[in-house]
């Protein structure tokens, strides 16, 4: 099956990034969100990102214009009628995703593939809202999408090999590297490993073994990670990570994924990281500064 038209549902951080890289690769992309204001913001952020690539000499002015010409926006889900592939990136909420997939199942052509960018919800439970469970799969991109090369492809219980093959080819065609997640397990591959190590890092700070600076330094200098787990947690949002951990814990009942007390207290105190100017570090001066005392 050939993919020509792509429909992205949700024009937030991830949806706009996915739409951008897809349009850059030459596909016609329509982005759907709830109102024109959100859609305009998404288009503006795509333009800003493309211009940044252009100013660094990574793409030409013509590439920018071609990408913008490939993009269109809509508030109507029925505009997905001629799509070959739909990628959903709405809020991380099972009920909402089920409603969206139920609607998509009604309005798209029968051969259209429906993918979800969920980080933590089971693909099988989203697919259950459709009559085409063989054509539903996970496509888990990483933020910021224009820069991060990985896309996890996740099979739901009934996803067909044909669907996986088409998605794998598509992922490569937009310049991303796929990894196959053969079973629909909570956290897939990257978050399953990454979040377990985030919990360990927070527990070390909580127990007074090391400061966030030393935990981060250990992982940067000892393992060559570009960023340590505490600064990464501040960038992602302590609340976002806590919800992701709770989702994996609820599925697995594995205490390894239970958010540590310190993390839960940080969320209660609105110490969420960069977005609230304080988390494991203080960002109020515009720079990342230490303040943690053991």
Ligand X SMILES: NC(=O)c1ccc[n+]([C@@H]2O[C@H](COP(=O)([O-])OP(=O)(O)OC[C@H]3O[C@@H](n4cnc5c(N)ncnc54)[C@H](O)[C@@H]3O)[C@@H](O)[C@H]2O)c1
Which positions touch ligand X (CB under 6 A)?
9-15, 32-34, 38, 89-92, 96, 100, 117-119, 141-143
- Closest separation between CB of residue 272 and ligand X, Å? 13
Catalytic residue of the set 49, 88, 152, 231: 152
Point out the catalytic residue in the list 191, 261, 285, 289: 191
My answer on whether omega of the bond before 144 falls inside 30° of 0, hence cis, is yes
Tell me how far, at minimum, the Cβ of 144 lies from ligand X, in Å.
Answer: 8
Active site residue 119: yes
For tokens 């998605």, what's the residue?
167
User: Residue 116 is encoded by which pair of tokens?
Assistant: 């979800």
Q: Is 152 a catalytic residue?
A: yes
Cα Rg of the chain (Å, integer): 20
Residues 113, 119, 123, 129, CA torsion sign: negative
Structure tokens at 245: 């951990």
Q: Which of 34/81 has CB closer to ligand X?
A: 34
Burial class (CB in 10 A: 0-12, 13-18, 19+), 48: exposed
Q: Kind and range of the H or E element at 42?
A: helix 36-55
C-alpha torsion sign, points 249, 252, 254, 257: negative
Nearer to ligand X, 152 or 216 (CB): 152
Comparing C-alpha atoms, which of 123, 260, 103 is closest to residue 184? 123
Catalytic entry in 140, 225, 284, 289: 140
Q: Minimal distance in Å, beta carbon 130 to ligand X? A: 15
The answer to whether 42 and 73 are in contact (CB under 8 A) is yes
Q: Which secondary-structure segment (H or E) carries 139? A: strand 136-141
Nearer to ligand X, 75 or 197 (CB): 75
Burial of 30 (0-12, 13-18, 19+ CB in 10 A): buried
Q: Which residue is nearest to ligand X (CB)?
A: 12
Check if 191 is active-site. Answer: yes
Closest CB to ligand X among 96 and 209?
A: 96
Q: Which of 16, 119, 122, 231 is catalytic?
A: 119
Return the number of the residue (126 or 204) whose C-beta is nearest ligand X. 126
Nearest distance from residue 244's CB to ligand X, in Å? 8
Active site residues per annotation: 119, 140, 152, 191
């Amino acid at each position: 099956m050939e993919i020509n038209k792509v429909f992205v549902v949700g024009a937030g951080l991830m949806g706009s990034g996915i739409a951008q890289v897809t349009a850059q690769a030459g596909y016609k992309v329509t982005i759907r969100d709830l109102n024109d204001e959100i859609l305009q913001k998404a288009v503006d952020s795509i333009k800003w990102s493309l211009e940044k690539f252009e100013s660094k000499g990574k793409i030409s002015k013509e590439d920018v214009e071609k990408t913008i010409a490939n993009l269109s926006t809509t508030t109507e889900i029925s505009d997905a009628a001629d799509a070959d592939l739909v990628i959903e990136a709405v809020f991380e909420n099972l009920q909402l995703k089920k409603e969206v997939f139920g609607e998509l199942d009604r309005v798209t052509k029968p051969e259209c593939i429906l993918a979800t960018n969920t980080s933590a919800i089971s693909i099988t439970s989203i697919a259950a809202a459709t009559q085409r469970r063989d054509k539903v799969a996970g496509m888990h991109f990483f933020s910021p999408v224009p820069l991060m090369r990985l896309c996890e492809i996740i099979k739901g219980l009934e996803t067909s090999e044909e669907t996986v093959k088409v998605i794998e080819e598509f992922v490569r065609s937009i310049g991303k590297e796929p990894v196959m997640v053969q079973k629909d397990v909570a956290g897939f591959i990257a978050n399953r490993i990454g979040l377990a190590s985030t919990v360990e890092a927070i527990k070390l700070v909580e127990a007074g073994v090391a400061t966030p600076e030393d935990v981060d330094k250990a992982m940067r200098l000892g393992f060559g990670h570009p960023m340590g787990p505490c600064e990464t947690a501040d960038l992602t949002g302590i609340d976002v990570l806590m919800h992701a951990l709770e989702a994996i814990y609820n599925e697995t009942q594995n205490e390894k994924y239970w958010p540590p007390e310190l993390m839960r207290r940080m969320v209660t105190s609105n110490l969420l990281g960069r977005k609230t100017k304080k988390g494991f570090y203080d960002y109020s001066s515009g720079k990342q500064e230490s303040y943690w005392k053991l």
